[in-house]
């Protein structure tokens, strides 16, 4: 999986460099060279542009992913049109004046997707006003800030799922791990009157430990008793939330004074994540932290001995074991790291977003969304970051969409799900866009093993 | 092809034999050229078309449903139903009984396939084709998975099919079988027919045609000069995954500078024996010592993990490379360091050294003549023989005390076999002790300095390399004569 770089066809550069005296080398060296090269005739003639065009018209990972997004937006457009009152009204006289229906649909889709864009990336109107000094530049950054705020926890849990995927494990437990991360960070954050800087670090560590231990528990159950991680992590999700967290935040000393609902005290200001673009915008250090985490995971998988073990176990546990790799140690470490990453995602919410307190629903559904993000990112750290940003943008834009064009937030959820479905069925995308076939594996095929895995 | 003829298709691994036959069977479509059946050009879009034209195929890897009975497997894909849509099991059973009667293919129609030995499963595959009334039967490497006795049985079946007027294409790279059964031989190399031969051609001639140069079928080696024991197994007992005692009180000794061959039909405890030595499986009794230091002691304690045992200078070529030896998704370079990635120069602390891994991969690919377009190629895309060379290259390119080679040339063509055998002997001459486990008697006889014959978890005898082939064959079948017992103490 890591063979990203391709050497052009042909054998090793020095075919005569082998051990002398065996006779085999010299006798077969010419054949060795011509063999693979003959398989790709005319390879050398291809121009750079030709290669680019080729790549764009073949069903490779990139084109399939982009086109899956386009398809999902197209289906989403139909849903938007059908949920618009003006469209439905005009459909009553569709056969008399079909143009009305199409105009209304066009308007509904146009305003909805425009809002999706202005809510997540940039609003041209605000940009214009800022240019003429009518509003502050920081309001131009507001949509991006929202996108980053939504994306950061998703990337954290996405990495937690992706890392486990690469080691052949299906971590459904990012939800519970994120919850425990949020709890750890929250408890550390409000228990002690922290000085600046140290407070943030301590609270973050609390989050990483909370998530890590919860992941490690699933890893230990697998290593020690052979319990399948899919089952244990689902159950651990239930235990973390709502059960444990609801009990915890209603305890004296944890619950916010003067409140009857399950909410903890707020995290000390010194333990909160600093904002990136000033206090007016929500974007905070979390996005930097998760991107950093993605780089660490990337290094771990590609360049470290541990990552080599993880990938070997994920791909062929028998061969890994035969080569002296300890499966149990790998299960423990992978689930520990996955829990830490999900914990980072959970902690970033409690430490970064108001009300900066633990509640049973504080992490939303980032653990489950993380599975989606990891699938779309194909189990790779960089892909997971990109997928997390996309989903963050869709979630940030969905709010704006609802405000300006009354399109329900759920449409955004539908689009997110459709993207993943289309990516999971590359043959469908290929057929619709008539792409030339290439060996592109369906999503999830290599990633998650089944119950026998 | 003539009716009633056995036509052997001979070629190295990756020569294109299987591809050609998959085209014939409709699994692949030809880019150009045509297939004539009874002088009529045919174009097969699927196996169904091929079966319709009277062509059946038995694959190297069986296509049977393990939890179905023989009769159910035979009717699969051509189910007969009674008037109201019930499956007509009785007719299927009758078909099986009738075909097995006619061609002497004894098999119980009601047995579950998963309970049958491999040889009988293969029979079911053949019956499957015959029930569909094919005239031409393609057998793709049918003997690769069989014991010597089963091979003899299969050859008998092939003769009786031939007498009944069926034609057979027999794909193989084993020269002895070809000579024993074929009426005509076609040799394929690199996708082209390079020659035809009569069955009376010598094995050397056939091998030369196959490989494209002359090959030595025997291994040149000097007499061994054994030193101190490197591996000492005493009273070892091991259970398999189902709790059966499959290694039962085994004593073995491998000395520096000698090759101890373990002969035996597969499944007689060889795998479990090796896994215990490698620390992959616990011992329930007995001791294993490497250079005098214990791996398993009498108290059932294991010293060190598999990784430690490898680090103590053991090289291990597992019997099933796809299952235990290679990570198919990994590149050739990564597979070449699969058990050394932690040690310098490939790993330093937590990080891998990609440059060192690349450099070493280039050298290994050259030295062991691994045919791959690049060291970044995924190992799973290489042919079986080249995959095996990757495993051998990995295990034999560091200083070793003990080399454990299980089926080191399984599925490997003549040219590569010659090369791997040469390397094993060279390793011995360097002073390494070699434990060679093989179910191919030829391989044992060619390489071993002493031969231990395993049967049902026990070593029946340890004999010298000049022991007649027939006697070892009998021992492999569990027959011990008086003379065999005498030599056990040797």
Q: What string of H, E and C letters represents the secondary structure of chain B?
A: CCCCCEEEEEECCCCCHHHHHHHHCCCCCCCCCCEEECCEEECCCCHHHHHHCCEEEECCCCCCCCCCEHHHHHHCCCCCECCCCCECHHHHHHHHHHHHHHHCCCCCCCCEHHHCCHHHHHHHHHHHHHHCCCCEEEEECCCCCCCHHHHHHHHHHHHHHHHCCCEEEEEECCHHHHHHHCCEEEEEECCEEEEEECCCCCHHHHHHHHHCCCCCCCCCCCCCCCCCEEEEEEEEEEECCCCCEEEEEEEEEEECCCEEEEECCCCCCHHHHHHHHCCCCCCCEEEEEECCEEEECCCCCECCCHHHHHHCCEEEECCCHHHHHCCCCCEHHHHHCCCCCCCCCCEECCEECHHHHHHHHHHHHHHCCCCCCCCCCEHHHCCHHHHHHHHHHHHCCCCCCEEEEECCCCCCCHHHHHHHHHHHHHHHHCCCEEEEEECCHHHHHHHCCEEEEEECCEEEEEECCCCCHHHHHHHHCCCCCHHHHHHCCC
What domains, with CATH codes, occur in chain B? Answer: 6-211 (3.40.50.300), 216-313+399-490 (3.40.50.300), 321-397 (no CATH)
Q: Which positions in chain B touch A305 (Cβ < 8 Å)? A: 341-342, 347, 350-352
Q: How high is the mean pLDDT of chain B?
A: 84
Asked whether residue A233 carries a pLDDT value surpassing 80, the answer given is: yes
CB A389 within 8 Å of CB A151: yes
Q: What is the pLDDT of residues B335-359, one digit of tens each?
A: 999 999 988 889 988 999 999 999 9
pLDDT at A30: 38
Residue in chain A nearest B376 by alpha carbon: A3
Mean pLDDT, residues B299-323: 91
Establish if A35 touches chain B: CB-CB under 8 angstroms.
Answer: yes
Asked whether residue B198 carries a pLDDT value surpassing 60, the answer given is: yes
Rounded distance between C-alpha atoms, residue B253 and residue B286, angstroms: 14
pLDDT at A33: 37
Establish if A325 touches chain B: CB-CB under 8 angstroms.
Answer: yes
Interface size, chain A vs chain B, as Cβ–Cβ contacts under 8 Å = 122
Tokens 């024996």 found at: B273
At A23, the pLDDT band (50, 70, 90 cuts) reads: very low
Asked whether residue B489 carries a pLDDT value surpassing 60, the answer given is: no
At A435, the pLDDT band (50, 70, 90 cuts) reads: confident
Q: What is the pLDDT of residues B231-273, one digit of tens each?
A: 999 999 999 887 889 999 999 999 999 999 999 877 788 999 9
Of A2, A319, A325, the CB nearest to B326: A319
Q: Which positions in chain B touch A325 (Cβ < 8 Å)? A: 307
Establish if A83 touches chain B: CB-CB under 8 angstroms.
Answer: no
Asked whether residue B277 carries a pLDDT value surpassing 70, the answer given is: yes
Element (H, E) at A156: helix A137-166
Asked whether residue B482 carries a pLDDT value surpassing 60, the answer given is: no
Q: Which positions in chain B touch A321 (Cβ < 8 Å)? A: 280, 306
Asked whether residue A162 carries a pLDDT value surpassing 90, the answer given is: yes
3-state secondary structure of A436: strand
Distance from CA of A424 to the nearest CA of B (A): 20
Q: Percentage of chain B with pLDDT > 90?
A: 33
Question: What residues have CB less than 8 Å from A336, skipping those under 6 apart?
Answer: A212, A215, A216, A219
Of B310, B328, B371, the CB nearest to A324: B310
Residue (of A139, A165, A98, A163) closest to A299 by Cα position: A163
Distance from CA of A27 to the nearest CA of B (A): 8
Contact call for A6 and B374, based on CB within 8 A? yes
pLDDT at B15: 65
Contact call for A3 and B373, based on CB within 8 A? no
Of B325, B329, B350, the CB nearest to A305: B350
Of B212, B339, B419, the CB nearest to A323: B339
ipTM of this complex: 0.80
Q: Which positions in chain B touch A6 (Cβ < 8 Å)? A: 374, 376
Asked whether residue B71 carries a pLDDT value surpassing 50, the answer given is: yes
Mean pLDDT, residues A232-249: 95
At B480, the pLDDT band (50, 70, 90 cuts) reads: confident
pLDDT at A346: 97
Q: Percentage of chain A with pLDDT > 90?
A: 64
Give the least confident one: A210-214, B221-225, B403-407, B473-477: B473-477
């Amino acid at each position: 999986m890591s063979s990203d770089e391709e050497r052009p066809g042909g054998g090793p550069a020095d075919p005569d460099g082998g051990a002398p005296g065996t006779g085999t080398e010299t006798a077969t060296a010419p054949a060795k060279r011509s063999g693979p090269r003959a398989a790709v005739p005319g390879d050398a003639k291809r121009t750079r542009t030709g290669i680019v065009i080729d790549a764009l018209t073949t069903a490779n990972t990139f084109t399939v992913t982009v086109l899956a997004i386009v398809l999902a937006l197209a289906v989403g457009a139909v849903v938007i049109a059908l949920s618009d009152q003006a469209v439905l009204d005009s459909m009553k006289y569709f056969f008399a004046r079909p143009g009305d229906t199409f105009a209304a649909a066009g308007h509904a889709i146009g305003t909805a997707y425009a809002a999706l864009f202005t809510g997540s990336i940039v609003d041209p109107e605000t940009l214009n006003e800022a240019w003429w000094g009518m509003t502050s530049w920081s309001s131009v950054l507001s949509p991006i800030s929202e996108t980053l705020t939504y994306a950061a926890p998703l990337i954290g849990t996405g990495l937690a799922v992706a890392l486990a995927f690469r080691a052949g494990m299906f971590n459904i437990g990012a939800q519970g791990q994120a919850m425990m991360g949020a709890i750890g960070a929250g408890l550390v954050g409000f228990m002690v009157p922290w000085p600046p800087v140290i407070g943030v670090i301590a609270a973050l560590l609390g989050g990483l430990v909370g998530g890590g231990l919860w992941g490690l528990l699933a890893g230990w159950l697998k290593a020690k008793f052979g319990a399948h991680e899919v089952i244990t992590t689902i159950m651990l999700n239930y235990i973390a939330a709502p059960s444990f967290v609801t009990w915890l935040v209603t305890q004296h000393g944890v619950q916010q004074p003067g409140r009857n609902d399950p909410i903890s005290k707020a995290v000390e200001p010194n333990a909160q994540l600093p904002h990136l673009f000033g206090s007016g915008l929500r974007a905070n250090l979390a996005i930097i932290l998760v991107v950093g985490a993605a780089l660490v995971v990337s290094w771990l998988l590609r360049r470290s001995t541990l990552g080599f073990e993880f990938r070997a176990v994920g791909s062929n546990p028998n061969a890994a074991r035969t080569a002296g790799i300890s499966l149990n140690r790998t299960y423990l470490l992978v689930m520990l790291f996955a829990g830490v990453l999900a914990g980072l995602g959970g902690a970033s919410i409690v430490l970064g977003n108001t009300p900066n307190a633990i509640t049973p629903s504080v992490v939303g559904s980032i653990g489950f969304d993380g599975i989606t993000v990891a699938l779309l990112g194909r189990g790779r750290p960089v892909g997971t970051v990109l997928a997390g940003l996309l989903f963050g943008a869709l979630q940030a834009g969905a709010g704006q969409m609802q405000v300006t064009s009354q399109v329900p937030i759920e449409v955004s959820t539908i689009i997110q799900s459709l993207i993943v479905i289309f990516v999971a069925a590359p043959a469908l995308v290929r057929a619709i866009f008539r792409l030339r076939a290439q060996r592109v594996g369906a999503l999830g095929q290599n990633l998650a093993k089944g119950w026998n895995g | 092809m003539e009716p009633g003829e056995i036509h052997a298709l001979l070629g190295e691994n990756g020569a294109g034999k299987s591809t050609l036959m998959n085209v014939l069977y409709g699994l692949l479509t030809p880019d150009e050229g045509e297939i004539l059946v009874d002088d009529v050009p045919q174009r097969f879009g699927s196996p169904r078309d091929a079966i319709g034209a009277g062509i059946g195929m038995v694959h190297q890897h069986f296509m049977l449903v393990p939890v179905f009975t023989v009769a159910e497997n035979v009717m699969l894909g051509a189910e007969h139903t009674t008037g109201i849509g019930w499956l007509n099991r009785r007719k299927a059973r009758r078909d099986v009984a009738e075909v097995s009667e006619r061609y002497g293919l004894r098999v119980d129609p009601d047995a579950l396939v998963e309970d049958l030995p491999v040889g009988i499963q293969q029979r079911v595959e053949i019956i499957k084709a015959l029930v569909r009334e094919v005239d031409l039967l393609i057998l793709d490497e049918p003997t690769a998975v069989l014991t010597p006795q089963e091979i003899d049985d299969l050859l008998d079946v092939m003769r009786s099919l031939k007498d009944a007027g069926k034609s057979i294409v027999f794909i193989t790279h084993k020269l002895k079988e070809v000579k024993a059964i074929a009426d005509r031989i076609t040799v394929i190399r690199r996708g082209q027919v390079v020659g035809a031969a009569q069955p009376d051609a010598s094995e050397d001639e056939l091998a030369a045609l196959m490989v494209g140069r002359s090959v030595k079928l025997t291994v040149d080696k000097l007499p061994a000069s054994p030193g101190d024991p490197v591996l000492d197994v005493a009273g070892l007992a091991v259970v398999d995954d189902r709790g059966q005692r499959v290694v039962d009180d085994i004593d073995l000794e491998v000395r520096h500078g000698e090759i101890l061959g373990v002969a035996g039909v597969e499944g007689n405890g060889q795998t479990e024996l090796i896994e215990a030595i490698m620390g992959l499986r616990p011992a329930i009794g007995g001791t294993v010592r490497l250079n005098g230091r214990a791996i398993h002691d009498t108290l059932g304690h294991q010293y060190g993990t598999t990784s430690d045992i490898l680090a103590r200078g053991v090289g291990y070529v597992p019997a099933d490379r796809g299952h235990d030896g290679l990570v198919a998704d990994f590149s050739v370079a990564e597979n070449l360091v699969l058990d050394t990635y932690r040690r310098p120069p490939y790993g330093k602390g937590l990080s891998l050294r990609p440059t060192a891994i690349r450099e070493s991969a280039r050298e290994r690919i050259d030295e062991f003549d691994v045919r791959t377009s690049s060291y970044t190629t995924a190992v799973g895309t290489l042919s079986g023989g080249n995959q095996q060379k990757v495993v051998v290259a990995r295990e034999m390119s560091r200083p070793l005390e003990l080399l454990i080679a299980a089926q080191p040339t399984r599925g490997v063509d003549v040219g590569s076999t010659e090369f791997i055998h040469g390397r094993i002997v060279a390793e011995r001459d360097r002073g390494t002790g070699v434990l060679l486990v093989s179910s191919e008697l030829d391989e044992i006889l060619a390489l071993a300095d002493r031969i231990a014959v395993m049967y049902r978890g026990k070593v029946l005898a340890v004999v010298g390399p000049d022991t007649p082939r027939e006697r070892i064959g009998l021992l492999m079948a569990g027959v011990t004569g008086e003379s065999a017992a005498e030599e056990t103490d040797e």
